[in-house]
């Protein structure tokens, strides 16, 4: 998905937030903001994606600060918060009329934990919203038909905190005779999950974990490594989690299921929904 000018203020906020995380030196913070301003004309002219612009400025932040994982503490806090309510989510799934659909919905709910949009997330409120409204748009029945025939599924992961809820969905996918691959970011970027966190929370019990090659807060196929491309081409089903992955893939690839929460006005408008709606759509 090509960069929209609506994305620029959001990435600006994200850049300042990151700068303040890595240093209290106002001169370095100003330098980082100046660099972001310098990147904008080229980004707009070349029609790159928002995840690519975000990746470029985050790489610069790491370079000038010497901090290779600016959001490390944020990810740790996300996991703590998610773990605190994990049993509540498990109970909702277990008691649901359709536990598989509920696991998908709770995984989409977990997508609320997004440092690219905001550091302040009320997970309990998102659970209530998900249970009350369910999916605004859903291709669940199509997914059920496809999964019965599938042999391999590629799950493109997003944020670290929501991976605890992904794990509950992976448990349900394990009921099918499937080879499951869970693709994570190549390097730390915002609060997105890497192989390190995926192993720490036990994703490997349910799926083969691979690095995607993407160093952006979204899957960019032009940076995909050979391992990811092999899994992508082999998969009968590709399930893309989150808004960042949708921004990287939606206008570039076909035959993908997108599981997410619409978290900004731009994405909501493109998908024909409202901000805050949960979606499970096929394109």
Residue 114 predicted with pLDDT over 60: no
Residue with token string 């901090």:
67
Q: Which of 49, 46, 61 is nearest to 14 (CA)?
A: 61
Over residues 152-176, mean pLDDT: 95
Q: CA 197: distance to chain centroid?
A: 14
Residue 20 predicted with pLDDT over 60: yes
pLDDT digits (tens, 9 = 90+) for 233-277: 999 999 999 999 999 999 889 999 999 999 889 999 999 999 989
pLDDT digits (tens, 9 = 90+) for 39-68: 999 999 998 999 999 999 999 999 999 999
Residue 17 predicted with pLDDT over 70: yes
Q: Are 230 and 244 in contact (CB under 8 A)?
A: no
Q: Which residues contact 182 (CB under 8 A, 6 or more apart)?
A: 155, 157, 166, 170, 198, 203, 206, 207, 208, 209, 210
pLDDT level of residue 120 (50, 70, 90 thresholds): low
What pTM value is reported for the model?
0.93
User: Parallel, antiparallel, or unpaired: how do β-strands 257-261 and 278-282 relate?
Assistant: antiparallel
As a whole-number percent, the residues of the chain with pLDDT over 70 amount to 96
pLDDT level of residue 122 (50, 70, 90 thresholds): low
Give the pair of three-digit tokens for residue 204: 């490997």
pLDDT digits (tens, 9 = 90+) for 187-238: 999 999 999 999 999 999 999 999 999 999 999 999 999 999 999 999 999 9
Q: Which of 253, 247, 273, 252 is nearest to 3 (CA)?
A: 247
């Amino acid at each position: 998905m090509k960069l929209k000018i609506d994305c620029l203020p959001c990435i600006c906020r994200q850049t300042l937030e990151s700068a303040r995380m890595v240093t209290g030196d106002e001169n370095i913070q100003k330098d980082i903001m100046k660099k972001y301003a310098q990147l904008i004309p080229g980004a707009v002219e070349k029609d790159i994606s928002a995840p690519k612009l975000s990746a470029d400025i985050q790489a610069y932040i790491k370079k000038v600060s010497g901090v290779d994982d600016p959001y490390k503490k944020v990810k740790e806090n996300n996991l703590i918060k998610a773990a605190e309510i994990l049993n509540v989510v498990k109970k909702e799934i277990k008691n649901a009329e359709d536990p598989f659909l509920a696991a998908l919905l709770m995984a989409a709910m977990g997508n609320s934990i997004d440092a690219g949009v905001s550091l302040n997330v009320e997970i309990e409120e998102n659970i209530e919203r998900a249970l009350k409204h369910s999916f605004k748009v859903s291709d669940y029945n199509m997914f059920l038909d496809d999964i019965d025939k599938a042999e391999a599924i590629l799950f493109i992961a997003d944020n670290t905190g929501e991976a605890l809820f992904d794990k509950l969905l992976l448990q349900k996918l394990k009921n099918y005779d499937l080879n499951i691959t869970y693709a994570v970011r190549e390097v730390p970027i915002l609060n997105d999950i890497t192989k390190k966190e995926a192993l720490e929370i036990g994703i490997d019990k349910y799926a083969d974990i691979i690095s995607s090659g993407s160093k952006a807060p979204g899957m960019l196929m032009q940076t995909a490594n050979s391992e990811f491309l092999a899994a992508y081409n082999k998969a009968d089903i590709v399930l893309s989690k989150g808004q960042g992955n949708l921004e990287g893939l939606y206008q570039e690839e076909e035959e993908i299921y997108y599981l997410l929460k619409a978290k900004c006005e731009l994405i909501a408008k493109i998908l024909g929904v409202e901000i805050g709606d949960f979606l499970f759509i096929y394109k």
